[in-house]
């Protein structure tokens, strides 16, 4: 069985969060979603589970740190091209997210960064396959 990753992200407004993630091209799986959660499908192996603050707190015995108050994770997402990096970031900003910095172009790697409306951060990047394979 191939490994999959499910990352749970706290969100304040579930409807706004769902609309944001759909606007950047990902889909919601209704079979694993409710009024207090949503399963965002990025790929066959990557999923973000959105949870209202109450639902998030019910899943963890540790206190929740709000993404707007500090970074608890840096989520890098590989893209097929520089254009995909730009498209994802521009869609995120247009849907209510925020750009974190200008594009970083190292020649062999190109990246940008954005947050969703709740402050959860993402770093889409493209890496030249020749450089990645050494």
Mean pLDDT by 10 residues, the chain (134 residues): 90 97 97 97 96 94 87 89 97 97 95 96 93 70
> What residue ranges do the domains of the chain occupy?
1-59, 73-134
Q: What is the structure's pLDDT at 101? A: 93
Give the model's pLDDT for residue 134.
Answer: 63
Quote the pLDDT of residue 115: 95
HEC assignment per residue over the chain: CCCCEEEEEEECCHHHHHHHHHHCCCEEEHHHCCCCEEEEECCCCEEEEEEEHHHHHHHCCCCCCCHHHCCCCCEEEECCCHHHHHHHHHHHHHCCCEEEEEEEECCCEEEEEEECCCCCEEEEEEECHHHHCC
Looking at residue 2, its pLDDT comes to 83
User: In this structure, are residues 38 and 18 in contact, taking their beta carbons and an 8 Å threshold?
Assistant: yes
Quick one: pLDDT at residue 110?
A: 98
99 close to 112: Cβ distance less than 8 angstroms: yes
CA 31 vs CA 38, 39, 49, 113: distances in Å = 9, 8, 12, 30
Query: 1-59 and 73-134: same fold?
Result: yes
CATH assignment of 73-134? 3.10.180.10
Residue 68 pLDDT: 85
Q: Could you tell me the two tokens for 85?
A: 């990096």
Q: What's the pLDDT score for residue 1? A: 72
CATH class (in words) of the domain with range 1-59: alpha beta
């Amino acid at each position: 069985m191939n490994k999959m990753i499910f990352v749970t992200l706290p969100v304040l407004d579930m409807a706004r969060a769902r609309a944001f993630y759909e606007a950047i091209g990902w889909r919601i799986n209704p079979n694993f979603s409710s009024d207090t959660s949503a399963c965002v499908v990025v790929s066959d192996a990557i999923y973000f589970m959105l949870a209202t603050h109450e639902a998030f707190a019910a899943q963890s015995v540790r206190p929740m740190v709000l993404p707007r108050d500090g970074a608890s994770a840096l989520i890098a997402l590989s893209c097929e091209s520089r254009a995909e990096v730009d498209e994802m970031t521009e869609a995120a900003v247009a849907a209510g997210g925020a750009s974190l910095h200008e594009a970083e172009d190292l020649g062999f790697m190109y990246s940008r960064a954005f947050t969703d409306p709740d402050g959860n951060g993402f770093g889409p990047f493209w890496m030249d396959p020749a450089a990645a394979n050494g």
